[in-house]
C-alpha cells in the first residue's frame, strides 16, 4: 500500500470492512424484498416497491435532520452500534409480515435507523483521516464499495437462493448488521467533539440545513445534486424500460447496462486521487455534471445498442466525478464540532433531490416517452451546472477570510483560553455556560457558518 493509503489506518480499515459487510447485506434485502413483494402483490409488485422506495426517501429527508438534532448528545460509537443492532432486529422481523402495509411500516423504520447511521458514519471518517489526501482516497474507495455492492449483491443472492429461500437473505442481512456493530465496537474512534450550540429543539433540528444553505459552495452543491439525482434516476428507474421496451432485449441485457454504468463509475473512483492532484474538487464536480448532461443528450437519440451502452457508461463516469468530491466539499465547509450536522444536511437534501428524481423519471418517461425525458433532463442538468458556475465562489477554504463580527450577547459552553471569551468572573479554568458578550471585531481565520458566524462575508 502507498504511504497515503487510508487502509494504513487501522480504525478506517475496520470501519470500511464494516461498511462493505452492511452494504452487501442491504443489497441482499433489496432483492429479497422484491421477491416478497411479488409473493404479496404479483403483477403489482413494482407499485409496491415504488411506494417502499418513496417511503425510504421520506425517512431519509424528513427524519435525518431530526435525528441530527439529538445525535451529538450521545457518544458516536454507542449511537452507531445501537443503529446497527436496531436495523438487525427490523430486518429479522420482515419475513414474519402478513400484509402489504407491514412492508411499508418496516421499511420506514429500517430506513429511519439508516438515516441516523449513515450521516454520523460519514462525518466520523474525516475525524479518523485528518490528512486530506487520505480522506480523498477514502471517499473514492467508498464509491467503489457502493458500485461493488450493486454487482456483488445480485451474485451472492443468486448463490444463496440455490440453498435458501428469500427469507434466508433477510437473516443474512440481519447477521451483517450485527457483524458491522461488532466491528464498530472493537474500533478505536477519536474522542467526540464538544458541541457549542444551545437553543430549542427546532433550532437544533434546523441548524445543519440553515448553515448548509448559508454557505455559497454548498448551495451550489445542492443545486448540482438535483442534476445528479435526475441522471441517476434515469439509470435506476428507466434502464429496464429502455432495454426491454425500446431495444427489445432480454433481462440479461438489463444487467449488462447497469454493469456498464457501474464500471464507468468504478474507473473514475480508482483514478480520482490522481485527478485531484491536478484538478480542484470544484472543477471535478462541475466536469462530472457536464458529462451527465452529454450522457442524457445521448440517451435521447434513436435507440441504438452501442450508442446506448456508451451513454450508460458515460453516465457512470459523470455520476462518479460529480459525487466523490462532495464529502470533501462538505467537510471543508464545516467547523469540525458541527461536522455531523452538515453531513446530516447533505444526506437529507441530496435524498430530497432523489425523491423528486425518482418521481419525475418514472412519470415523465411513462407519459411523454424516454427520449423527451432524457432531452429535458439534459437541459435541466445544464442549468444546474450554469448555477454552480455563476454562484460557486472561487475561494479556498483552507485560507483565512477577513470578516467582521457585530457585538453579540448569547449563551454557549466556553472557557477563557482565547481573547474572544476573556471576561471576569469566579470561574475561569474550565468549560462553563452563561450569558456573555462578544465585542465587535474585524479579524480573519478559516470561515464556517456556526454559532459565532451566522452569515457569509460579502
Domain ranges of the chain: 7-188, 217-398, 401-445
CA 274 – CA 154 distance, rounded (Å): 31
CA 230 – CA 20 distance, rounded (Å): 26
CA 333 – CA 330 distance, rounded (Å): 5
Helices 76-93 and 100-128 cross at an angle (nearest 10°) of 160
Residue 151 confidence (pLDDT):
63
Which residues, at least 6 apart from 341, have a Cβ–Cβ distance to it below 8 Å? 68, 72, 207, 208, 211, 334
Q: Does domain 217-398 have CATH number 3.40.190.10?
A: no
Phi, psi (degrees; rounded to nearest 5) at 256: -65, -45
Residue 77 confidence (pLDDT):
93
Contact 119, 343 (CB under 8 A): yes
CA distances from 158 to 31, 263, 330 (A): 10, 21, 38
| pLDDT, tens digit only, all 458 positions of the chain | 456 789 999 999 999 999 888 888 887 887 787 678 777 776 665 567 667 777 888 888 888 777 766 776 788 899 999 999 999 999 999 988 888 888 889 889 998 898 888 888 888 898 898 888 888 888 888 887 877 676 666 667 767 777 888 888 899 999 999 999 999 999 998 887 666 555 555 666 677 788 888 888 899 999 999 999 999 988 888 887 888 888 888 767 877 888 888 889 889 988 998 999 899 999 999 999 999 999 999 999 877 899 999 999 999 999 999 999 998 998 888 777 778 888 888 988 998 999 898 888 888 888 898 999 999 999 999 999 999 999 998 765 556 565 565 666 655 565 666 555 566 665 555 666 666 666 666 656 566 666 555 566 67
For the chain, helix (H) and strand (E) counts, in that order, are: 14, 4
CATH topology assigned to domain 7-188: Growth Hormone; Chain: A; (1.20.1250)
Residue 374 confidence (pLDDT):
95
Residue 413 confidence (pLDDT):
62
The domains spanning 7-188 and 217-398 adopt the same CATH topology: yes
CA 214 – CA 457 distance, rounded (Å): 10
Q: The pTM is what?
A: 0.80
Residue 198 confidence (pLDDT):
55
Element (H, E) at 445: strand 441-445
Q: Which residue has the cell 422484491?
A: 34
The secondary structure of residue 74, as a DSSP letter, is: S
CA 410 – CA 421 distance, rounded (Å): 12
Amino acid at each position: 500500500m502507498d504511504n497515503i493509503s487510508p487502509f494504513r489506518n487501522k480504525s478506517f480499515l475496520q470501519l470500511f470492512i464494516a461498511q462493505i459487510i452492511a452494504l452487501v447485506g442491504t443489497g441482499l434485502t433489496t432483492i429479497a424484498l422484491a421477491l416478497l413483494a411479488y409473493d404479496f402483490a404479483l403483477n403489482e409488485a413494482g407499485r409496491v416497491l415504488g411506494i417502499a422506495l418513496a417511503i425510504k426517501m421520506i425517512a431519509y429527508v424528513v427524519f435525518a435532520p431530526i435525528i441530527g438534532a439529538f445525535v451529538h448528545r450521545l457518544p458516536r460509537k454507542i449511537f452507531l452500534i445501537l443503529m446497527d443492532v436496531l436495523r438487525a432486529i427490523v430486518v429479522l422481523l420482515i419475513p414474519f409480515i402478513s400484509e402489504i402495509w407491514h412492508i411499508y411500516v418496516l421499511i420506514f423504520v429500517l430506513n429511519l435507523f439508516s438515516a441516523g447511521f449513515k450521516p454520523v458514519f460519514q462525518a466520523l471518517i474525516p475525524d479518523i483521516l485528518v490528512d486530506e489526501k487520505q480522506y480523498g482516497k477514502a471517499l473514492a474507495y467508498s464509491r467503489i464499495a457502493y458500485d461493488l455492492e450493486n454487482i456483488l449483491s445480485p451474485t451472492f443472492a443468486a448463490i444463496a437462493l440455490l440453498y435458501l429461500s428469500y427469507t434466508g437473505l433477510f437473516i443474512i442481512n440481519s447477521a451483517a448488521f450485527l457483524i458491522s456493530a461488532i466491528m464498530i465496537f472493537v474500533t478505536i474512534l477519536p474522542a467526540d467533539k464538544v458541541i457549542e450550540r444551545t437553543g430549542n429543539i427546532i433550532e437544533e433540528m434546523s441548524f445543519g440545513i440553515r448553515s448548509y444553505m448559508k454557505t455559497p459552495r454548498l448551495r451550489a452543491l445542492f443545486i448540482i445534486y438535483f442534476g445528479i439525482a435526475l441522471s441517476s434516476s434515469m439509470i435506476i428507474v428507466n434502464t429496464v424500460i429502455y432495454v426491454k421496451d425500446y431495444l427489445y432485449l432480454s433481462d440479461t441485457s438489463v444487467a449488462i447496462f447497469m454493469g456498464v454504468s457501474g464500471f464507468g463509475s468504478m474507473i473514475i473512483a480508482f483514478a480520482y486521487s490522481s485527478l485531484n492532484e491536478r484538478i480542484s474538487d470544484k472543477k471535478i464536480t462541475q466536469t462530472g455534471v457536464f458529462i451527465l448532461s452529454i450522457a442524457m443528450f445521448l440517451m435521447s437519440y434513436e435507440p441504438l445498442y452501442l450508442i446506448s451502452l456508451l451513454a450508460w457508461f458515460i453516465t457512470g463516469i459523470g455520476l462518479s466525478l460529480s459525487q466523490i468530491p462532495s464529502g470533501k466539499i462538505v467537510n471543508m465547509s464545516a467547523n469540525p464540532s458541527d461536522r455531523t450536522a452538515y453531513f446530516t444536511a447533505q444526506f437529507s437534501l441530496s435524498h430530497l433531490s432523489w425523491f423528486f428524481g425518482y418521481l419525475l423519471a418514472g412519470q415523465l418517461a411513462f407519459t411523454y416517452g424516454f427520449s423527451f425525458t432524457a432531452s429535458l433532463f439534459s437541459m435541466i442538468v445544464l442549468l444546474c451546472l450554469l448555477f454552480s458556475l455563476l454562484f460557486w465562489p472561487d475561494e479556498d477554504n483552507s485560507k483565512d477570510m477577513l470578516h467582521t463580527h457585530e457585538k453579540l450577547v448569547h449563551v454557549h459552553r466556553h472557557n477563557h483560553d482565547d481573547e474572544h471569551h476573556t471576561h471576569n468572573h469566579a470561574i475561569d479554568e474550565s468549560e462553563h455556560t452563561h450569558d456573555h458578550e462578544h465585542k465587535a471585531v474585524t479579524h480573519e481565520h478559516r470561515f464556517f457558518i456556526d454559532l459565532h458566524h451566522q452569515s457569509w462575508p460579502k
